[in-house]
Structures are given as C-alpha cells and as structure tokens.
Amino acid sequence: MKRVRGMVLWVATFLLMVVMCVPGLWVILSAFRPNREILAKPPVWVPETLTLDNFGKIFGWGAEQIAIPVGSYFLNSMVIALTSTVIALGIGMAGGYAFARFRFRGKNSVFLGLMLLRTVPGIALSLPVFMLWSRLGIIDTKLGLIIVYVSLNVPFTIWLIDGFFRQIPLSLSEAAQVDGCTRWQAFWKIEFPLAKSGIASAGVFAFLTSWNEFALASQLTRSTDSKTLPVGLLDFTAQFTIDWAGMCAMAVIIIVPALILTFLVQKHLIAGLTFGGVKG
C-alpha cells in the first residue's frame, strides 16, 4: 500500500516536472537548432542538426550576423540587477531587523502597507512611473530602472528577512552584549550570521526579479544605455519576421547566469525556504 502510494506520488511529481520543464527545455534546445528546423511543419521533435550558429550570430563570429549589442545589454542587466539587489537587501535587512526587534507606533499598519504594495501589479504602475520618470529625466537610464526594481523588491526582502530575525531569540543578542559587544557588533557577529540563509534567499529572489523583469523595462528603456537582456529579446522581431532561433539563443544567455547564481546559493535557498516558511 505504502509502495503504491510512493509510486503514485513519484509519477505525479514527474508529470508535474515535465509540464514545468518542457517549455524551458524547448527554448534551450531551440537555441542550438537552425531557424528552419524550429519552424518546420510538421514539427521536428528530435533535433536533426545541432549548431552554435545562433550564438555566433549574436556574438558576431558567425557567417550570418545580426547587429545586437548583447554585450551592452548583458552589462546593463548585471549592473541594474546587482545594484538594485544590493540596495534592496540593505533596506531589507535594516527594515526586517526593525520590524522584528523594535516596538514603534504604527508598526503593524506600516508592515501591512508594505505587503499591500506587493499586490499592485507592476504593469499598472508603468504609466504613472513613465510620466514621473520623464519629468525627472531618468527615462532610459540605469538609475531609473534601479529605483523601480528596488521599490518592487523591498517589501519582499523586508518580509522575508523579518521572518528570519524573528526566529533568532532576543537573548542571543543580549548575551553578546553582556559578553562585551556593542549592539552593532552583536548584530554582525551573532544575528547576521544566523539570518544569512534568509538574506541569501531574499537576495536571489530580488536578483531574479530584476534580472527577468520585462514589462516595466520595455517602457522605461530606449537604447544601449539602459536596455536589459529581456528587452533585448525584442530586437529579434522585425516587422514581419521573428528570429526564433536567435531569440532562444538570447534566452539561454539570460537563463545561464540565473541558473549559476541559484546553484551557488542553493544550500542557503533550501534552508531559507523551509526555515522561513514555518514562521507563521
């Protein structure tokens, strides 16, 4: 009976994973196939030819070339995602610590307010943000996107990090202070190391949000000064054609750093998700 149950669960999990993974795998596979095979009718399921031409095209070492400044896009994406993540983490740590440790007036309302901010769909903000940013003259700048991403991510980082600090008994910091630490030292030597997995998970989520975000970035960027990789995908669409192969190759370029990052902090991420998850 138990075995049957186990089997059923296993099959169900497998099917779910297939459903979730197939589109991703298809994109990765298509990145290594020529355009005509991708568009073939009836579809060619098992690739007949595998090639690096699509990447060659993008990076400019193939016979066929399309002018896409993928280097600039990559750099923009990195700068914007990293900067906004670092800032969101800084604010998240300060805010999370404050919510977890201090009593102040209106604490619950402020916290609720922050959480409600998360319920506003980003796209609903695009028009007001566009108007505001153009007044401020920060359309098509990295700064403009960084501000947007920081504000998108901060409620989440505060919420997650708050949960982690809450789980650390107050007496640890007190013991450290009795042991000779200032409050600041007690934070960095005791509370920060213990909340590290939570902070790492918050960082990964913030980074991925910024790294993958498309809707707002496509409104607020124009040129190689600020265009990010997801927006760069649009460069593969011309008036009447879409270069699916190129687009898929570009998608792989977007996916790889995200995957690497996730693997690097995987250990923390699992601890983070389960640890933070039970805080109630």
Partner 1 sequence: MAEITLTGVEKRYGALRVVHGIDLTIAQGEFVVLVGPSGCGKSTTLRMIAGLEDISGGQVRIGGRVVNDLPPRKRNISMVFQNYALYPHMNVRDNLGFGLKIAGQTPDMIAKRVDEAAQILGLADLLDRTPAELSGGQRQRVAMGRAIVRHPDAFLFDEPLSNLDAKLRGQMRAEIKKLHQQVKTTVVYVTHDQVEAMTLADRIVVMRDGQIEQVGTPMQVFNHPANIFVATFIGSPPMNLLPGTISGGAVRLADGSAVPVPPRLTGRAAEGQAVTLGIRADDISPVGHGLSQDGPGAELDLSVVLAEPLGMESLIYTRVAGQEVQAKLYGPRLVNPGDRLTFRLALDRAHLFDAASGRSLEAI
For partner 1, the binding residues in 88-117 under the rule CB under 8 A are none
The CB-of-19 to partner 1 minimum distance in angstroms stands at: 39
Q: Is 174 in the site for partner 1 (CB under 8 A)?
A: yes
Q: Is 194 in the site for partner 1 (CB under 8 A)?
A: yes
The CB-of-102 to partner 1 minimum distance in angstroms stands at: 14
Residue positions counted in the chain: 280
Q: Is 182 in the site for partner 1 (CB under 8 A)?
A: yes
Residue of 169, 223, 234, 266 that binds partner 1 (CB under 8 A): 169
The CB-of-101 to partner 1 minimum distance in angstroms stands at: 13
Residue-wise DSSP of the chain: -HHHHHHHHHHHHHHHHHHHHHHHHHHHHHHTS-HHHHH-SS---S-S---SHHHHHHHT-SSS-----HHHHHHHHHHHHHHHHHHHHHHHHHHHHHHHH---TTHHHHHHHHHHHTTS-GGGGHHHHHHHHHHHT-TTSHHHHHHHHHHHHHHHHHHHHHHHHHHS-HHHHHHHHHTT--HHHHIIIIIHHHHHHHHHHHHHHHHHHHHH--HHHHHH--STTT--HHHHGGGGB-SS-B-HHHHHHHHHHHHHHHHHHHHHTHHHHHHHHHHHHTT-
The CB-of-198 to partner 1 minimum distance in angstroms stands at: 14
Site size toward partner 1 (CB under 8 A) is 18
The CB-of-94 to partner 1 minimum distance in angstroms stands at: 21
Binding segment for partner 1 (CB under 8 A), chosen from 33-41, 74-82, 113-121, 172-180, is: 172-180
Binding segment for partner 1 (CB under 8 A), chosen from 180-188, 227-235, 245-253, 259-267, is: 180-188
Closer CB to partner 1, 44 or 181, in the complex: 181
The CB-of-203 to partner 1 minimum distance in angstroms stands at: 19
Q: Is 180 in the site for partner 1 (CB under 8 A)?
A: yes
Residue of 178, 234, 256, 259 that binds partner 1 (CB under 8 A): 178
Q: Is 171 in the site for partner 1 (CB under 8 A)?
A: yes
| Single-letter residue type at 103 | R
Q: For tokens 């922050």, what's the residue?
A: 114
The CB-of-189 to partner 1 minimum distance in angstroms stands at: 8
Q: Write phi, then psi, for 242 (nearest 5 degrees).
A: -125, 125
Residue of 185, 212, 218, 224 that binds partner 1 (CB under 8 A): 185
Residue of 28, 98, 125, 181 that binds partner 1 (CB under 8 A): 181
Residues 6+ apart with CB under 8 A from 231: 73, 214, 217, 218, 221
Task: Write out the residues near partner 1 by the rule CB under 8 A.
Answer: 169, 171-172, 174-183, 185, 189-190, 193-194
